[in-house]
Structure 1
Amino acid sequence: MPKVDSYKDRFEEIPRGIRVIDFKYRWRSCSSKNHLNFHWKIILAPMTIVDYIVVHEMAHLIEKNHTPEFWEIIGTVLPDYEQRKEWLRRNGKYLDI
């Protein structure tokens, strides 16, 4: 996935695998074995939101939980991540085309 490749240099860990699948109720996941899974519908989002989704999951390669450290990792890569996160919260439901 090109977006993952574009952020690899910003993280200490790299994914062991990447899959694009049809999730029912989520946009992405990171397995305990560092495999990243993305819902195929993210491609319908603006690229800035796709970046947020990818960076969010790549941060889970380092910190599995949504701790303050996790959000700090995201913030170092995407300083405006809170706006992107909010956009996804508000508009993600409309990507179901």
Structure 2
Amino acid sequence: MVRMKVEIDQGVIECDIQYGNRKKLSIHMDAIGLITVKAPKNLSEEIIINAIKQNGQWIQGRLDEISKLQETPQKRAYEDHGKFLYLGKEYSLHELIKTRDLEEEELKKNLKKFYITSCTKIIGERIKIYQQQLGVKPKAVEIVESDSQWGSCNSSKKITFNYRLAMAPMDVIDYVIVHELCHLIHMNHDRSFWRRVGSIVPDYKKKQEYLARFGHYMTL
């Protein structure tokens, strides 16, 4: 697997090049905008770059669509019956935290604490299951705030999870956990990585689609 950046009129396209026993080149994009170019062995870099450029308009169009899906929605209503997601379902604010006699800033602060505490508990319980199945163990696990990632794994084997995952259904949370744990085995998004993810979460593409479609609702 090779990472490549290609300049087009609309900007720069980043993609993974996957070489294999195939006759034709093909370009694929998943629900979150990850681009994979599957190419025949020994195909020149020049041909690959030209193929990406020729499809540049289509690629950028799809990336723009995904970006729009991830835009921040209208401001939340911090009142008793304001709606917020928890484990994939909508709840009124007063069902998640105490709201009586509290101003908006205090409500927002307390709701964030609720999600961080819930996410820490959920991740702590669920990650043990998949660590055992995959035969791996991260050196550290941290719950963080992020506007761009649901999870990450670095070369030091430290895994982080976005506290907003507590707003997602449990099976989607499980997918993100498995995704990051699999990076302890395969740091790149190569074929072996996705095969390992799929061995635990066969319908992982549906989980990606959920995050792409509804991720922008999972906000404070």
Same fold (TM over 0.5): yes
Deviation larger for 4-13 or 53-62: 4-13
The answer to which structure, 1 or 2, has the higher relative contact order (CA under 8 A, 6+ apart) is: 1
Q: Distance in 2 between matches of 1:19 and 1:70?
A: 22
Name the counterpart of 1:22. 145
Pairing partner for 1:48 from 171, 179, 195: 171
Structure 2: runs of 5 or more not aligned:
1-123
SS at match of 2:164: helix
Paired residue secondary structure (2:142): strand
Displaced runs of 4 or more, over 6 A: none
The residue that corresponds to 2:156 in the other structure is: 33
After TM superposition, the structure 1 = structure 2 runs for residues 1-97 of structure 1, keeping only pairs within 5 Å, are 1-97=124-220
Q: Which has the higher strand share?
A: 2
1:74 maps to a residue whose letter is V
Q: What is the TM-score when the length of structure 1 is the normalising length?
A: 0.94
Letter in 2 for 1:36: I
Answer yes or no: is the 8 Å Cα contact 1:28–1:53 preserved in 2: yes
Distance 1:87 1:24 in 2: 17
Aligned partner letter, 2:165: I
Q: Give yes or no for contact 1:12–1:62 (8 Å, CA) kept in 2.
A: no
| Structure 1: runs of 5+ lacking an equivalent | none
- Residues in 2 aligned to 1:52 and 1:91: alpha-carbon distance in whole angstroms: 15
Q: Distance in 2 between matches of 1:13 and 1:52?
A: 16
Compute the TM-score of the two structures, normalised by the length of structure 2: 0.43
Number of residues of Structure 1 aligned to a counterpart in Structure 2:
97
Q: Which protein has the bigger helix share?
A: 1
Tell me the CA shift for residue 14 of structure 1.
1.1
What displacement does 1:85 show? Answer: 1.2
TM-align CA RMSD: 0.9
